[in-house]
Amino acid sequence: MITHGNKIKLFAGNGNRALAQAIADKLAMPLGDMNVGKFSDGETCVQINESVRGCDVFVIQSTSTPVNDNLIELLVIIDAMRRASAGRITAVVPYFGYARQDRKARARDPITAKLVADLITTAGADRVLTMDLHAPQIQGFFDVPTDNLLGVSVLAKSIKEMDFAKSDNLVVVSPDVGSVSRARQMAQKLGCGLAIVDKRRPKPNVMEVMNIIGDVKDKVCLVVDDMIDTAGTITQGAKALVDVGGAKEVYACCTHAVLSGPAKERLDASPIKKLFMLDTIALPENMKSDRIETLSVAEIFARSIECIFADMPLSKLYE
C-alpha cells in the first residue's frame, strides 16, 4: 500500500535541467540534492544526497536526445528513490521518447512505447505526468495513473496575444489528418477557421503534399503540430500553403521541437515566418534562431505537481 508523504521533493536528471529549475522556481522550492553522472565505463551513476523517506517525490526528466541515456537516467533515479523508501514517486516526463513507436506498422515491428512504459512502471514509478503523447492510446500503455497535459492550452494562451493572431484572416492548419483534433482545439481557442494539408508519406521522414482542404488564399496560416523532428512535414506543408493555396503568411507551432538532422536548414529555407515551440525539450545553442520562439511549460507542470501532491483533479487547470 502506497503511503503519501507529508513532504514534497523535486529531483531532476540531465534531460532538461533548465525546465526542471523553472518548475522548481514556480513552486518556490529547490531541486533535491542528487548527483547524476557516469562511471568510467559509461554506466549511469546516481547518488541521492538527502533523505526521501516517506516523501512525495517528483522526478523531472525529458527522454529526449540522447534518448537512451536520458531514459536510463530516469529509470535508475526512480529505482534509487524506491530503494530509499520514498512514499510516492511521480515520473514527470515533459517529452516521452519512443512515443512514435506505438504500433506495429510492419510485420515484426516492436511496440517500443509500451516497453518503455513497462520499464518506468517496473522501476517503481507510482504515477506519470507528461505532455502531448504522440498517440492518445499510449496513456493506456502504463499500468499506473498517467496524466497527459495539453500543449495546445499553453500555446494558445501566448499566441492569441500576438499581432498576427488577431487578424480576421487567421486560419489554423493541420499538417496532416492525424493532427486535425489538435488543430481544431487551437482553432476553437483562437476563434478562427480550420484547414488541412492532405499528404501521403512514401517512406519515413519523406512527405509528399497532395492538396489543401479549406480556403487559405490570402490568409494568415498557423500550422499546429505536436512534434517537429526533421521538419520535412511542416516545411513542405508551409510551402504548399503558399505555392498551392496562396497563403499570405505562414506561422507554425509545436509542443515538442525535436529538430534533428536537417531541421534547421529546412526551417531557414521555408516560408515559415516564426516557429513557436514549448520547452519540453531543451533547445541546443546551435539550433537557436530569430525565427524560433520558446514558450515555457513550467507553470502548467508546477500547477499539475501541486494538484497531484494535494490529490486534486488536474481538470481545473483548463478551466
Q: What tens digit of pLDDT does each residue of 113-157 get?
A: 999 999 999 999 999 999 999 988 999 999 999 999 999 999 999
Residue 3 has pLDDT above 50, yes or no: no
Whether the upstream peptide bond of residue 284 has omega within 30° of 0, thus cis, is no
Helix 17-26 vs helix 298-309: angle between axes, to the nearest 10 degrees? 60
Q: Across the chain, what does the average pLDDT equal?
A: 93
| Cα→Cα distances 36→97, 269, 277, Å | 19, 39, 28
Mean pLDDT of 216-231: 96
Q: Is 107 helix (H, G, I), strand (E, B) or coil?
A: coil
Number of CB atoms found within 10 A of residue 297's CB = 25
Contacts of 203 (CB under 8 A, 6+ apart): none
Distance CA 304, CA 284 (A): 26
Domains of the chain and CATH, by start: 8-149 (3.40.50.2020), 152-295 (3.40.50.2020)
Contacts of 110 (CB under 8 A, 6+ apart): 101
Distance CA 77, CA 58 (A): 11
Mean pLDDT of 87-92: 97
Predicted local distance difference test score (pLDDT) of residue 165: 93
H/E run at residue 209: strand 206-213
pLDDT band at 2 (very low <50, low <70, confident <90, very high): very low
When mean pLDDT is compared across 82-96, 189-203, 237-251, 292-306, the lowest value belongs to: 189-203
pTM score, whole prediction: 0.93
pLDDT band at 161 (very low <50, low <70, confident <90, very high): very high
Would you say 236 and 259 are in contact if contact means Cβ atoms under 8 Å apart? no
Backbone angles phi, psi at 181, to 5 degrees: -60, -45
Residue 224 has pLDDT above 80, yes or no: yes
Is residue 7 annotated as a catalytic residue, yes or no?
A: no
Predicted local distance difference test score (pLDDT) of residue 50: 97
Q: What tens digit of pLDDT does each residue of 173-219 get?
A: 999 888 899 999 999 999 999 999 987 666 666 656 568 999 999 99
Mean pLDDT of 263-286: 94
Q: Which of 199, 219, 264, 274 is catalytic?
A: 199
Q: Is 208 helix (H, G, I), strand (E, B) or coil?
A: strand
What the block records as the C-alpha cell of 64 is 529526449
Would you say 238 and 271 are in contact if contact means Cβ atoms under 8 Å apart? yes
Would you say 160 and 132 are in contact if contact means Cβ atoms under 8 Å apart? no
